[in-house]
Amino acid sequence: MFMGKSEINNSIMLTKIKFKTSSSYIRKSLISLIFFFLAVLVPTVITTLKYKATVDDIMLIDFSTLIFICIIYAAFLVCLAYKKANNYFSVFPQTNTSRFLSTQMTMYLWLIVFCGISLFFYFLQLLVFKLLSISNKNIILAYHLDFELIILGIFVYLMYAFLIVTFISFIGVFIRKFNSIAIIVLLTLATIIITSEASIGKAITKPFAFLTKETSVGMFFLKSIITWILLFVISLFINKFTNYYNSQKKYKAYIVGGVGFIALMILSIIRFNMPKNDEPVIIQEKSMLINEDNVWDDDLWRDNVITIDLSEYDNLGEITVETNITEEDSMSLDFKNKISLPSDKKLLIHYRFPVHIFNNYNLIKYTNPKLDAILENNILNIIYDYDKNVKVVFISPWGIMRQFEKYRGKGVISDLPFLYSSSSRGFGYIYLEWNSKLLLR
């Protein structure tokens, strides 16, 4: 058997000990996260409650992403301190296999704990701003609550975390087994992947493309589990036959550097002589990246027109223009205070509402804007009305779920991996039907 009963028992015992021993470090990390959470939440709440006439976007931190970065950092530290930790726990009965298994199981258990913490932070933010939205009608939550997304997101998040921790552990096992040779190989592969556009670089990364490009949840889990098992088994096998206590052969720095340099030169020559693969560049249409409201629709940028037929009015030699539009409305209207009008023409008021797009959401729609033009008693009243001080809050549970087509454009999660914002003032102007624009400069 690959493992005996005693090794299994020793692995379980070591896991319990390592989990308990590492609790103090995790506790400190948790306290730091809580302080950071409050340091972000409190100012955001204050900003949300401040008055601002025009619509404002409030983006809350996705703590699942922040914690994931911390997980990667912690996994590197564990691998770097692997030998030192083994010496620390050497008083307990153990083998290469039980040491490796206990370390992996300890990290997996802490991943589950921090996944729960990430979920707790999300629900706490959601609760705070849900209560604010109930007591303040001007505060709106942009995303709908989707329990399927939240529950499934837990397993996707853990799958990502398990994969990254296992991959880092595999790198650590590989280096501890083969020393300088492993470093040269890894640096060479990294150079190819980072700098190469040739087929060899693509061939290396293609098996892992599902991590960011797989749109089906089921296929993502299938590929992830297979990859995780392969990495875990290979790491376990290499680790089993690594002797940590015999002095390992070390090469001089100039030998390692020379071999590495020669390897890179050979690869560079090969790459230089490889024919270019001129594949057509496929540009993804904007409509594939946006939500159901389609903020890039032409209607958003097209002028609206109010037409007043002057032939229906008597004695309109001159009219006075009045408007309630002010600077704080993010809207401007060009006009003359006094307009001389022939009675056989039409008066046209062209206008476009302000534009405020945030992560593919048109926030202006939440303000219910409306512009009316009323001609009465030789006075043209242009009235711009909208809901003021609107705050649109974006709280996303699991940013990693945006790659799945099932949840795109459903208003339950950010469709973009980055923050995108675009805004412009609205405008209006008045002119007669023959296009003689009447402006006040």
Q: For residue 75, count CB atoms less than 10 angstroms from its CB and return exposed for 0-12, middle for 13-18, buried for 19 or more.
A: buried
Give the number of C-alpha atoms closer than 13 A to the C-alpha of residue 330, restricted to the C-beta side.
Answer: 20
In this prediction, residue 177 carries a pLDDT of 79
Band of the pLDDT at 439, cuts 50, 70, 90? very low
Reference 59, options 129, 131, 158; nearest CA is 129
Q: Which two tokens stand for residue 274?
A: 């490889």
Q: Which residue has the higher pLDDT, 337 or 113?
A: 113
Q: What is the pLDDT of residues 78-105, one digit of tens each?
A: 888 877 777 777 667 667 788 888 888 9
pLDDT at 419 over 80: no
Q: Which long-range contacts (CB under 8 A, 24 or more apart) does 207-210 make?
A: none
Which residue has 């549970």 as its token pair? Answer: 397
Reference 397, options 62, 168, 7; nearest CA is 62
Q: What is the pLDDT of residues 238-271, one digit of tens each?
A: 888 777 655 455 555 555 556 555 655 655 555 5
In this prediction, residue 152 carries a pLDDT of 92
Q: What is the pLDDT of residues 148-202, one digit of tens each?
A: 889 999 999 999 999 999 999 888 888 887 776 777 777 776 666 666 555 555 6
DSSP state of 348: E
pLDDT at 229 over 90: yes
Q: How far apart are CA 307 and CA 311, in angstroms?
A: 12
Compute the CA torsion angle 30, 36, 166, 247 (nearest 10 deg).
-70
In this prediction, residue 20 carries a pLDDT of 85
DSSP 245-300: SSPPP---HHHHHHHHHHHHHHHHHHHHHSPP--PPPPPPPGGGTS-TT-TT-HHH
Q: What is the pLDDT of residues 282-296, one digit of tens each?
A: 333 333 333 444 555
Reference 107, options 19, 173, 174; nearest CA is 19
Q: What is the pLDDT of residues 335-379, one digit of tens each?
A: 655 666 655 677 788 888 888 888 778 888 899 999 888 888 778
In the chain, what's the furthest Cα-to-Cα distance?
107
pLDDT at 18 over 70: yes
In this prediction, residue 228 carries a pLDDT of 93
In this prediction, residue 376 carries a pLDDT of 82
Contact at 8 Å (CB) between 353 and 364? yes
In this prediction, residue 269 carries a pLDDT of 54
How much is the mean pLDDT over the chain?
77
Mean pLDDT to the nearest integer, 212-226: 88
pLDDT at 6 over 80: no
In this prediction, residue 193 carries a pLDDT of 64
Q: Look at the chain and count its residues.
A: 441
In this prediction, residue 43 carries a pLDDT of 92
In this prediction, residue 120 carries a pLDDT of 93
In this prediction, residue 76 carries a pLDDT of 85
Please state the pTM of the whole predicted model: 0.75
| Candidate ranges 63-72, 224-233, 279-288; pick with highest mean pLDDT | 224-233
Q: How far apart are CA 325 and CA 329, in angstroms?
A: 7
DSSP state of 345: S
Give the number of C-alpha atoms closer than 13 A to the C-alpha of residue 388, restricted to the C-beta side.
Answer: 11
Mean pLDDT to the nearest integer, 396-415: 82
Contact at 8 Å (CB) between 190 and 196? no
In this prediction, residue 108 carries a pLDDT of 92
Q: What is the pLDDT of residues 290-330, one digit of tens each?
A: 344 455 555 667 778 888 877 777 666 677 888 888 878 88
CA 431 to chain CA centroid, nearest Å: 46
Q: Which two tokens stand for residue 103?
A: 């370390």
User: What angle do helix axes 63-80 and 147-195 make, rounded to 10 degrees?
Assistant: 50
Q: How far apart are CA 326 and CA 331, in angstroms?
A: 7
Measured from the Cβ of residue 331, the count of other Cβ atoms closer than 10 Å reads 22
DSSP state of 361: E
In this prediction, residue 7 carries a pLDDT of 75
Which residue has 């534009």 as its token pair? Answer: 355
Q: Phi/psi at 58 (nearest 5 deg)?
A: -125, 110
